[in-house]
Amino acid sequence: MPQTRAIKPIQAFKATVTPPGSKSLTNRALLLAALAQGQSVLHNPLIADDTQQMLQALEELGFDVALENDQSRVRITGRSGRIPAKQNPTKLHLGNAGTAYRFLTAACCLKNLTENAQPVRYQLDGIERMRHRPIGQLVDPLRQLGAAIAYLDQDGFPPLEITGTGLPGGEIQMPTTLSSQYISALLQIAPCCEQGLTLRFTGPVTSRPYVEMTLRLMAHFGVQAETDADLTSITISPGHYSATEYAIEPDASNASYFLAAAAVVPGSQCTIEGLGKASLQGDVGFADVLHQMGAGLVYGRDFIQVMAPPNGQTLRGIDIDLNHMPDMAQTLAAVAVFAQGDTTIRNVGNLRVKETDRLEAMRVELTKLGVGVEVEDDDLIITPPAGNRLSIAPGTTIDTYNDHRMAMSFAVIGLGAPGIVINDPGCVEKTFPDYFDYFDRLGSPDQ
């Protein structure tokens, strides 16, 4: 992919898009299949950097993993909650794949398959950015459950060394965490703990839809959790996952960019197939956010359709708490550039510990376009330029900070306004390698 990519505005379009499989579901399903009894078959997995990191790590841990049918299917032979690694230590380098790092941190605490052997030590590392992404809010509860984990550099951050001695499990108190992935990591290994696991939450659950996604997928693999409507506690009894066949639905986070494009390009319409009211992913709710801003919306069981505001109307700014779907904050910020009035995106402080500090990155890059941006505590406030006309100095380019969502969200702006040039567009390899191919088709005559 070239070092820069100029995005050209397009005319009204009608498109039907089916994005590749969900990253969140793929990485969860890969791990659950590895922890299950017997062979599982996963259809339509996402094949991108984040999921390839997980696939490679599972192979390095000793699991039998096979990609088939032109990578549209993966078979995994689970080992009943044990890790079959033979090398001691086993070293895993996980790039900047935060989901894989957190999930495998928990999984590597489980027992090695050969009980009489010396417990295997696992060394988990990543790129430099990974070493600045906090992990202490997962390590601390794992230690309470009996895990043997050591920091190899700075306390609270990767790299880690984990000794696979197994986990007694039990009950722990969980405060509000920076990421829901810490909770999901604990839940996924819960049935493999000798006593199971009970999590009691002392504050709100961050990105709750992702935790609910984890529980629903665990149920598909045969493990039921006990919880209540307010999600004040979750209890999972000791047991095992059952091998299964599972079709992974399209990625709702990546679908958001095409829905956003339909909202900002006057007269446009986009239908996402394979996602709808039956989806396991909370980010399908972004369609409702666009509707609040004035976009048209049709929401079916297995499709979502978004239309630009009708009859010459314009989008309007909104004030919204996005703590439940923080990955949508950058997409919403891109749409807000074309709205009338300010948009305030609240309670997204965890964006500071993603692939980059996304709050600061959005502030810097949107300011280049003449957009007013303020970061107040954990809130992002977008003030569109006068008349929604961007002011871009000649030669200005958008830096992406090795963050796929920076590239994808600013591409949406480029469809509605001229002058957007994106640096390092190849960073989309992280979750959506073909993103710009899909994107280019929005303006093609056959859509």
Q: Tell me, yes or no, whether 298 lies in a domain.
A: no
pLDDT of 443: 74
Q: Number of H helices and number of E strands within the chain?
A: 12, 23
94 with 14, same domain?
A: no
Residue of 326, 385, 334, 396 whose CA lies nearest to 362: 334
How many other CB atoms are there within 10 angstroms of residue 446's CB atom? 5
Domain holding 414: CATH number?
3.65.10.10
The span from the CA of 105 to the CA of 121, in Å, is 12
**Structural domain span for residue 177:** 23-230+242-247
Q: Tell me, yes or no, whether 301 lies in a domain.
A: no
Per-residue model confidence as pLDDT tens digits over 85-111: 989 999 999 999 999 999 999 999 999
- Which residues lie closer than 8 Å to 348 by C-beta, 6 or more apart? 322, 323, 326, 329, 359, 378, 379, 380
Per-residue model confidence as pLDDT tens digits over 165-185: 999 999 999 999 989 999 999
Burial bucket for residue 328 (CB in 10 Å: 0-12, 13-18, 19+): buried
Mean pLDDT of 261-267: 97
pLDDT interval class at 2 (50, 70, 90): confident
pLDDT interval class at 447 (50, 70, 90): low
The whole-chain average pLDDT of the chain stands at 95
Dihedral, CA of residue 24, residue 28, residue 30 and residue 34, to nearest 10: 170
Domain count along the chain: 2
The span from the CA of 247 to the CA of 239, in Å, is 24
**Are the CB atoms for 130 and 94 separated by under 8 Å?**
yes
225 with 87, same domain?
A: yes
The span from the CA of 390 to the CA of 367, in Å, is 10
401 with 349, same domain?
A: yes
Per-residue model confidence as pLDDT tens digits over 185-229: 999 999 999 999 999 999 999 999 999 999 999 999 999 999 998
Q: Looking at the predicted structure, is the pLDDT value of residue 1 above 90? A: no
pLDDT of 279: 95
Per-residue model confidence as pLDDT tens digits over 227-244: 998 999 999 999 999 999
Q: Where are the alpha helices (DSSP H) in 36-179?
A: 49-60, 98-107, 136-144
83 with 12, same domain?
A: no
The span from the CA of 151 to the CA of 123, in Å, is 10
Q: Tell me, yes or no, whether 125 lies in a domain.
A: yes
Q: Tell me, yes or no, whether 269 lies in a domain.
A: no
11 with 93, same domain?
A: no
Q: Tell me, yes or no, whether 371 lies in a domain.
A: yes
Residue of 255, 301, 249, 306 whose CA lies nearest to 278: 301
Q: Looking at the predicted structure, is the pLDDT value of residue 116 above 70? A: no
The span from the CA of 132 to the CA of 89, in Å, is 23
Give the residue from 247, 272, 297 where a domain finishes.
Answer: 247
- 75 — alpha (psi -120 to 50), left (phi > 0) or beta? beta
The span from the CA of 352 to the CA of 360, in Å, is 8
**Positions marked active-site:** 327
85 with 222, same domain?
A: yes
Per-residue model confidence as pLDDT tens digits over 395-442: 999 999 999 999 999 999 999 999 999 999 999 999 999 999 999 999
3-state DSSP assignment of residue 274: coil
Per-residue model confidence as pLDDT tens digits over 24-81: 999 999 999 999 999 999 999 999 999 999 999 999 999 999 999 999 999 999 999 9
How many other CB atoms are there within 10 angstroms of residue 201's CB atom? 18
Q: Looking at the predicted structure, is the pLDDT value of residue 445 above 60? A: no
31 with 167, same domain?
A: yes
Helix-strand-coil split of the chain, %, nearest 5: 35, 25, 40
205 with 321, same domain?
A: no
Residue of 310, 401, 414 whose CA lies nearest to 359: 401
- In the chain, the percentage of residues whose pLDDT exceeds 90 is 92
Q: Where are the alpha helices (DSSP H) in 265-369?
A: 286-292, 329-336, 358-367
52 with 194, same domain?
A: yes
The span from the CA of 31 to the CA of 396, in Å, is 43
Q: Tell me, yes or no, whether 258 lies in a domain.
A: no
123 with 28, same domain?
A: yes
Q: Tell me, yes or no, whether 306 lies in a domain.
A: no
14 with 65, same domain?
A: no
pLDDT of 363: 97
Q: Tell me, yes or no, whether 14 lies in a domain.
A: yes
Q: Looking at the predicted structure, is the pLDDT value of residue 311 above 90? A: no
pLDDT interval class at 353 (50, 70, 90): confident
- In the chain, the percentage of residues whose pLDDT exceeds 70 is 98
- Which helix (DSSP H) or strand (DSSP E) does residue 204 occupy? none
Strand partners, 170: 197
Q: Looking at the predicted structure, is the pLDDT value of residue 374 above 80? A: yes
pLDDT of 117: 67
pLDDT of 446: 56
186 with 38, same domain?
A: yes
